[in-house]
Chain A
Amino acid sequence: MHQLLQQVLSGLAAGAIYASLALALVMIYRATDLVNFAQGEMAMFSTYIAWTLVNAELPFWGAFVITLAVSFVGGMLIERIVIRPVENAPILTAVVVTIGLLLIFNATAGWIYSYTLQEFPSPFPDRPLFGALMTTRDMGVIAVTLVMLVALFCFFRFTATGLAMRAAAQNPESARLSGINVGRMLALGWGFAAAIGAVAGIMVAPVLFLDPNMMSGVLLYAFTGALLGGITSPVGAVIGGLIVGVTENLVGTYLIASQLKLTVALILIILVLVLKPNGLFGTAVVRRV
């Protein structure tokens, strides 16, 4: 029982990271109707920025804030420069463009920082908590994710910009008619997604060690979480991410060897798409023909 609880709690910590990245994917999907295959590599690149800053003797949380700001601006620029021209292009074009971004970020990181594993400092001490049920590090990861979620919720619920962004995502034409600068809102959406991804990258790097291919598995779990929760639902993304984190940990501990963890994600993705394509909280897409 103790072991089970332990696995569930450490699964929640991993799940919190997947939930963040899943949330970033959902934000972009809602804003621009795109599945952003480059989300993981963008987060990885942000993490390298944080790593550079920490190595330059900056305090951890200072580096954290600067990285989030840089990622936010970077995300907006990507939307403006790379995504805007293919906004109304066929799906294939959009997929190829985000895959191109994935390759560019991966290669640029490899070019600048090399492909060797780097240690990344954790801001939280590694001490057992609640009679060794979980570590302070896991607790810290969950806390950071929660703070971020509450902040995002407040932003979207209580600020004018948040309302405008929701309007732009839901109905661009009407939003534009009521005087909202939809283009700017979409760019903001990408900026937020990049910053949220950066949080996920910084939280996962102490566990996985930093290298340019660090995020490929995490991205897969995040996709699984986003699909499970319903790719149109931010709440769903978070819950889906947590479920995936716990499932992954339990399946890895009790059912099959952990070398097949990624295959579990593949099977989960197929199951969700076949059995419940709209996910737990998503809305069915109705299309006029």
Chain B
Amino acid sequence: MAETFPVDSAAKLAMERESAIGFAAWRWAGAAALIAIAVLLPFTLSNYHVFELTQVMIYAIAVLGLNILTGYNGQISLGHGGFFAAGAYTAAILMHRYGVPYWATLPPAALVCFALGVLFGLPALRFEGPYLALVTLAMAVAMPQLLKYFDVLTGGNQGIVLVKPLPPAALGLDRDRWLYFFVLVVLLLAIRVAANLLNGRTGRAFVAIRDHPIAAAAMGINTARYKTLAFGISTLFTGVAGALAAIVIGFVAPESFTLFLSLSFLVGSAVGGIATIGGAIVGGFFIEFVPNFANDISDAAPWAIYGLAMLLFMYVMPRGVVGTLGPWLTHVMQEFRSERHAAK
């Protein structure tokens, strides 16, 4: 009944502010509830399901990396599986050859992938739209070959078998649950970092470059620097996900990092919402669980479903699940609050 209830502007402003505060509180409550569920869930599930959820979170971190580059900065990558592989192999080589403890491999993997991303991002400055997609596609196709070729480091075709990490004895957790919590902490950290980055000055610069590079440059944004930065940060996230995958699965081999890995990240990104943070988690679930159901039909069915999902989401829901439902939910909540306020 907002129309029949005249509000003067000061009151309206106060009302909006209160509603904004209320909304933020709701968001925090929602996030806290989700984290509580994530913490309690592994104690109600079998070891295998816990392992699956760990995989979901790893994929989510990888997709989050892709979202930063492709969704927020508009640079299309079809080759993030390559950076995932770089992270996985960095972790595996450090653990296997140099006896580095598993948790200590994450910072070097992050660093290596950041450096690789920046190096790749520099020539990428000159490639627009489909050309960058092409170069990254070529990298994804060539990756297994490269990994096999440098077999002194990578173990060639056989790959590297790793010792699965032991959980700290004091916690009394078994290995699968310990790794679940280990990955969960990294995921939460990654989301926090991504949110801070993307909601601030850097994120606005990324989006401005995506939407109108010339206008962005005219506003004083150093497009070259921010595009390279976006590349580095994006590959850092994906590389850390790769390192986690190596730790959790305990095995790396060239054939796990084919073009199709890169394309499944893209599917996850498109389904969850390519320019969202929460969409990465939806994407992680999609990548992990669709093959489980579809494999019963045929070996090829998961990829057919991935392909169909890509087409469908592009036609019907180009912003993805989170990109579509998120704003809608916000809108509904605000309507609800202002109506309730008006009714008082």
Contact = CB atoms under 8 A, between A and B. Distances in A.
Interface string A169-180: 000000000000
B126 A274 contact: yes
Interface stretch (B18-26, B143-151, B171-179): B143-151
A107 interface: yes
B145 A260 contact: yes
Contact of A95 (B123, B130, B309, B315): B130
Nearest to A35: B130
B296 interface: no
B250 to A, nearest CB: 26
Tell me whether chain B's interface is mostly helix, strand or loop, or mixed. helix
A110 B303 CA distance: 10
Interface in A234-289: 257, 259-263, 265-266, 269-270, 273-274, 277, 289
A212 B131 CA distance: 25
Interface in B126-169: 126-127, 129-131, 133-135, 137-139, 141-142, 145-146, 148-149
A143 interface: no
A266 B310 contact: no
Contacts of A262: 138, 141-142, 145
B8 interface: no
Interface in B250-301: 259, 263, 266-267, 270, 274, 298-301
A102 B307 contact: yes
Interface stretch (A3-11, A43-51, A64-72, A86-94): A86-94
A58 interface: no
A160 to B, nearest CB: 32
B76 interface: yes
B66 to A, nearest CB: 12
B185 interface: no
A217 interface: yes
Given A259-B148, A270-B135, A273-B127, A99 B310 contact: yes
For chain A, which range describes its interface: under 10, 10 to 19, 20 to 34, or 35 or more residues? 35 or more
For chain B, which range describes its interface: under 10, 10 to 19, 20 to 34, or 35 or more residues? 35 or more
A108 B126 contact: no
B70 interface: yes
A124 interface: no
- Which residue among B74, B304, B306 has the maximum number of chain A CB atoms within 10 Å of its CB? B304
B303 A103 contact: yes
A111 B302 CA distance: 10
A209 interface: no
B329 interface: no
B76 A91 contact: yes
A201 to B, nearest CB: 17
Nearest to B215: A289
A106 B148 CA distance: 24
A216 B141 CA distance: 7
A96 B314 CA distance: 8
A259 B259 contact: no
A93 B76 contact: no
B274 A92 contact: yes
Interface of B: 70, 74, 76, 78, 123, 126-127, 129-131, 133-135, 137-139, 141-142, 145-146, 148-149, 214, 259, 263, 266-267, 270, 274, 298-304, 306-311, 314-315, 318
Closest 8 CB pairs of A and B: A103-B307, A100-B310, A110-B300, A104-B307, A107-B303, A107-B304, A35-B130, A111-B300
18 contacts: A92-B129, A93-B314, A94-B130, A95-B133, A100-B311, A103-B310, A104-B307, A104-B308, A107-B302, A110-B298, A110-B299, A111-B304, A216-B141, A227-B134, A262-B138, A263-B146, A266-B139, A274-B123
